[in-house]
Amino acid sequence: MLRLAVKGPHTVLSSSVCAACPYSPAGCCVAPPRLDLSDVGRIVALGGRDWLLEEIAAKRLVVGARWLSISRPKRPLAVNGPREAACVYHGPTGCTISHDRRAATCNYYVCDAARAGEHEARAREVHERLIASFVAWDKTINARIDATWPEGPTFDAAFLDWLGAMFTELSS
Ligand code: SF4
Ligand code: SF4
């Protein structure tokens, strides 16, 4: 069954199919999305600035030029299974962090197999609209960074606060 909690950029789509994912014991969390600047701004806007700094310090989030990557340590994903890489936040019963701390893709992505059913058309429409919004916000944020930090930003508290304010401005 597909569930939609439509809340603008904080929308969550989920499917009962994922609990028994046909592709992997960790589902699509074997390949977590990176956190683009709009994702980082969303997390800050929801009160997660200090959490981000802690995760960066612990190397669970790895700083890229203009994004954060989620680390993928290897471990068994199923009892007695082989060691495989997967998102550091994936645990035996699924994601261990709240929707407020995830990349938006984690919240709104479901594959075709998981989307089939009663609300499929609505889910596809919501999914495509969110992709378009986040791509547009990233483009604007990157343009403002080009003008403000031509050498590239540092992922410190001040920059994260700036991203949070940018996200709030763009998404309101
Ligand atoms: S969205 Fe698809 S690939 Fe991802 S966990 Fe669900 S069923 Fe598996
Ligand atoms: S943050 Fe959570 S939902 Fe996203 S890839 Fe990692 S475990 Fe999966």
Ligand 1, pocket-test mutation among 110, 115, 124, most atoms within 8 A of CB: 110
C-alpha to C-alpha distance for 151 and 145, rounded to whole angstroms: 9
More confident of the two residues 117 and 73: 73
- What pLDDT is recorded for position 118? 77
Helix, strand, coil share (%) of the chain residues, nearest 5: 50, 15, 35
Q: How far is the CA of 148 from the centre of ligand 2 (A)?
A: 31
Q: State the Cα–Cα distance between residues 55 and 53, nearest whole angstrom.
A: 5
Proximal ligand: closest to the CA of 107: 2
Q: Can you say how many angstroms the Cα of residue 98 is from the centroid of all Cα atoms in its chain?
A: 11
Answer yes or no: is the C-beta of 13 below 6 A from any ligand 2 atom: no
Token pair, residue 20, equals 């028994």
- pLDDT tens digit sequence for 13-28: 999 999 889 999 999 9
First to last CA, the chain: 31
Mean pLDDT of the chain, nearest integer: 95
Instruction: Quote the ligand 2 centre to 94 CA distance (angstroms).
Output: 8
Residue 89 has what pLDDT?
98
- What pTM does this model have? 0.95
> Per-residue pLDDT for 62 more than 80?
yes
Domain ranges of the chain: 2-171
